[in-house]
Amino acid sequence: MAYCLQCGHQALQQIPDGDSKVRLVCPNCAYIHYENPKIICGALVVADNNVLLCRRAIEPRYGYWTLPAGFMEIGETIVQGAARETVEEADAIAVNSHLYCIFDIPDIGQIYMLYLSDLKDGKFGTGVESLECALFAEADIPWDEIAFEAVKRTLKHYFEDRKSYLQHSDFPLHQESIGKDKRIKRY
């Protein structure tokens, strides 16, 4: 059962007038609760050709490896959000950030916006949401223990792109959607 966020009355699933989708609608105050996709911002942080990964101390995917990334907050830009997540999850400073991978996941209403960044002074720790953080060479990436498809794809793009480009600022932007079948759709 769902309740109105505005007045607390029991809300109903219905299609509002002039709309085409079912929403939570309050019959008392007419408030309509719109649910829209959420942006996950994060960074692939690189130091001396190694990439910074964090082992998750939270669900979902507890114990699996990920990039520093999380839901964007009101009041910050995307790149600020990516930098904040890097501090929170890896106690590290991401610098020279370039937008690198965008993933739409329409089935669950998420959009990943991931930057390619350098690790400032090569320093990192372990953030509160991580069990441990570490720098990985390509050969040591725990591919079977990567938390999310978007993270796996970002790592694969990076190791492929760095064969062709010397400067991170020259790396191309990757824009894909991830569906239930995990088929790659490029724009």
Binding residues for Zn ion, rule: CB under 5 A, are 4, 6-7, 9, 26, 28-29, 31
Q: How far is the CB of 32 from Zn ion (least distance, A)?
A: 10
Distance CA 31, CA 65 (A): 40
**CB-CB contact of 42 with 28 (8 Å):** no
| CB 146 within 8 Å of CB 155 | yes
> Shortest gap between Cβ of 35 and Zn ion (angstroms)?
16
CB of 3 to Zn ion, least distance (A): 8
Q: Which DSSP helix (H) or strand (E) runs through 82?
A: helix 78-90
Q: Which is nearer to Zn ion, 8 or 125 (CB)?
A: 8
Q: What is the CA radius of gyration of the chain?
A: 19
Of the pair 31, 136, the CB lying nearest Zn ion is at 31
Cβ 5 to Zn ion, closest distance in Å?
8
Name the amino acid, one letter, at 54.
C
Residue 6 gets which letter from DSSP? T
Judged by beta carbon, residue 32 or residue 93, the one nearer Zn ion is 32
User: Nearer Cβ to Zn ion, position 29 or 173?
Assistant: 29
| Beta strands per DSSP E along 60-93 | 65-66, 69-71
